[in-house]
Structure 1
Amino acid sequence: MSSPLFSRRSALAGALAAGAAVALPGSASAAPNYSNPLARQRADPHITRHSDGFYYFTATVPEYDRIVLRRSRTLRGLATAPEAVLWRRHGTGEMGGHIWAPEIHHIDGRWYVYFAAGRAEDFFDIRMYVLENDDPDPFAGTWSEKGRIVTAWDTFSLDASTFTLGGDRYLVWAQQEPGIDNNSNLYIARMSSPWSIEGSPARLSSPTLEWETRGYAVNEAPAVIQRNGRVFMTYSASATDSNYCLGLLTARTDGDLLDPASWTKSPEPVFTSNDATSQYGPGHNSFTVAEDGRTDVLVYHARQYEEIEGDPLFDPNRHTRVQAFGWTPEGTPELGFPVADSP
């Protein structure tokens, strides 16, 4: 590739890898630098900045057996913040298998954790579930189980995330759909409560492109950011090894988000493995904002090596990483490349 966009991304990545403070695309400010990895052996990271001024951070642990939470006044502080266990998997039955990809959201005065869980009898029989806590402090109070998020099919489903637009709350997630020969597609539906959807879900994307089907045919882990009159949805594609990467869907904020025709898919991945910075399999991202309240920050996991022995799911070294990003003159996110480890 030799496009102007590729050249800008390369220059930005090189400067960030060298530890320089750079002007982000579409911004007059210098990009804040963060020490990476932010948290070792924490995959599928989700960081949100709440109105109380704290950053809240949860992620998948390599034992796949519990949901953890940290908080800090700064992103940097999350690296050493104490970690609490909010919930542990059941000993039998539902929610007794693999526990994956928690996200924490504050909705209508209550805290909610969305996560995926298998059965004790089949760790990979994955479905989506919700926890609720009505205490203002998510480290206090009681986390109650609101149960499974019921969708159109009782099939493998995971990576629930939620956002609002125009007074409506939406759920986005990944699921296997009967009759489609792939691992997972991306779906959206309106929510009738923080733990349930209404109406028929709309399939927004299936893994059909070459870079979405390496190892496995996967679209998963949707994450939403709204800027410049558009809704941008990143997602992860392919196997969870060095082929893992981010794709991008885009819709107008004044369009019908439940109409698949409202969305366009970028033909190329927007964030991939990088030999120059020794970062492999970047993906399962979330978005937050820097301490200045203005600079957008990409949160994701990646490994520091390309070759993996055995099943990548059982390699524990997917580390949480954060880096600032900017916007193209056309108003789309310019994520660059995964930055190198900090000295």
Structure 2
Amino acid sequence: MPIRYRNPVYDAYFADPFVLRVAEGYVAYGTGRVVDGRAFEVLTSSDLVTWRSVGGALELLPPELGLGGDYWAPEVAEADGRWWMYYSVGHGDVGHHLRVAVAEHPTGPFVDQGVNLTPDERFAIDASPFRDEDGTWYLFHARDVLEGDRVGTMLAVNVLDGMTRLRGQSRTILRPSDDWQVFLRQRKMYGQLYDWHTLEGPFVRRYGGRYYCFYSGGSWLEPTYGVAYAVADHPLGPWVEPSGVPPLLRTVTDRVIGPGHNCVITGPDGQDVIVYHAWNPERTARRMCIDPILWSPDGPRVLGPSFSPTHFPRAAE
């Protein structure tokens, strides 16, 4: 039987969703509420459609550290028999840095390891760990770059030496390339005015011997905001955006606003699924959505964003 669903699959606030497949099914982590005194609500599911909240994930950092109270965009990787959470913490739109926490179980509790992974960055968010087939771990993320023709938040990568240390400086892998990626013109940042571009929420998937970096771009307030991708033959690049290919997801006026910050997971029937958030029409909450993602020699294609009852396609569809 096809798996039927209707977006959003979780009606409460649950932004920047990341889904991990575990032996018991699926675990999701998202930006939003502090639950049971912990950051990042945790959900579990057997089918990606019906979700149940099981509490909070991350033990809050001591306020006296002065690191800020905005916890954003967790992603989790399993290594060495434990689960490692990468996230950012800071003060609003400035001062964010990447950190790592560890737990003995995928639902937590996660305990911060006392490491600032990006002490030399102006602003770093949206950490996304990726393990290559040779066992090498990489950490993709977004960071602010003030050099170049198109200034703003861009995508970068570094190698993880162990799970709590990056190898030297991160390298930029994808810069803004088009006006649809403009967040705000004449935005005041770092004491200057810039036409500020935004690339954020990187997520890498290997398919057919190549690497696909999905990312969100632009301003969620604009209809051009959405999810696009770049392709490479190695995690360190070079990364290239396919020419003339429209974004995989974009706003549907009055229905799906600002779809973005995705991950890709394989469903229980073997169908790849893109998981993302979108604002409700009232723009009061980002909620978790899912849609099938199909692969071809020309690259990925998303059957969405959907907002009415639908189903995952069978393999032959």
Q: TM-score band (shorter)? A: 0.7 to 0.9
Give me the whole-angstrom Cα distance separating, in 2, the residues matched to 1:58 and 1:202. 27
Query: 1:56: which partner in 2?
Result: 27
Structure 1 residues without counterparts, runs of 5 or longer: 1-29, 309-314
Q: Aligned match of 1:132 in 75, 83, 102?
A: 102
The 8 Å contact of residues 225 and 231 in structure 1, kept in 2 or not, is answered as yes
Query: 1:6: which partner in 2?
Result: none
Give me the whole-angstrom Cα distance separating, in 2, the residues matched to 1:32 and 1:339. 14
Q: Aligned match of 2:137 in 169, 176, 199?
A: 169
In the alignment, is residue 74 of structure 1 matched against residue 50 of structure 2? no
The 8 Å contact of residues 58 and 111 in structure 2, kept in 1 or not, is answered as yes
Query: 1:302: which partner in 2?
Result: 278
Q: Percent identity?
A: 23
Higher helix share: 1
Q: Aligned match of 1:198 in 138, 144, 167?
A: 167
TM-superposition CA deviations, 1:127-155 (whole Å, max 9, x none): 1111112x2x234566243421136x331
How many residues matched?
291
Deviation at 1:183, TM superposition (A): 2.5
Query: 1:156: which partner in 2?
Result: 123
Give me the whole-angstrom Cα distance separating, in 2, the residues matched to 1:177 and 1:318. 27
Would the alpha carbon gap of residues 224 and 67 (structure 1) be closer, same or farther in structure 2, given more than 3 Å must change?
A: same
Q: Aligned match of 2:241 in 265, 269, 282?
A: 265
* Partner amino acid, structure 1, of 2:69: G
Query: 2:264: which partner in 1?
Result: 287
TM-superposition CA deviations, 1:189-224 (whole Å, max 9, x none): 111021221144221111131111143410111011
Deviation at 1:249, TM superposition (A): 0.7
The 8 Å contact of residues 94 and 117 in structure 1, kept in 2 or not, is answered as no
For 1:198, what is the secondary structure of its paired residue?
coil
Give me the whole-angstrom Cα distance separating, in 1, the residues matched to 2:50 and 2:280. 22
For 2:50, what is the secondary structure of its paired residue?
helix
- Structure-to-structure mapping, 1:198-217, within 5 angstroms: 198-215=167-184, 216-217=196-197
Would the alpha carbon gap of residues 66 and 123 (structure 1) be closer, same or farther in structure 2, given more than 3 Å must change?
A: farther
Would the alpha carbon gap of residues 149 and 140 (structure 1) be closer, same or farther in structure 2, given more than 3 Å must change?
A: closer
Report the TM-score, using the length of structure 2 for normalisation.
Answer: 0.82
Deviation at 1:318, TM superposition (A): 0.9
The 8 Å contact of residues 69 and 86 in structure 1, kept in 2 or not, is answered as no
Give me the whole-angstrom Cα distance separating, in 1, the residues matched to 2:61 and 2:225. 27
Higher strand share: 2
Query: 1:274: which partner in 2?
Result: 252
Give me the whole-angstrom Cα distance separating, in 2, the residues matched to 1:221 and 1:339. 20
Query: 2:208: which partner in 1?
Result: 228
Query: 1:16: which partner in 2?
Result: none
- CA RMSD, aligned part only? 2.6
Q: Aligned match of 1:102 in 62, 67, 74?
A: 74
Q: Aligned match of 1:113 in 66, 85, 110?
A: 85
Deviation at 1:286, TM superposition (A): 0.7
Give me the whole-angstrom Cα distance separating, in 2, the residues matched to 1:297 and 1:219. 22
Report the TM-score, using the length of structure 1 for normalisation.
Answer: 0.77
Deviation at 1:71, TM superposition (A): 2.0
* Partner amino acid, structure 2, of 1:226: R
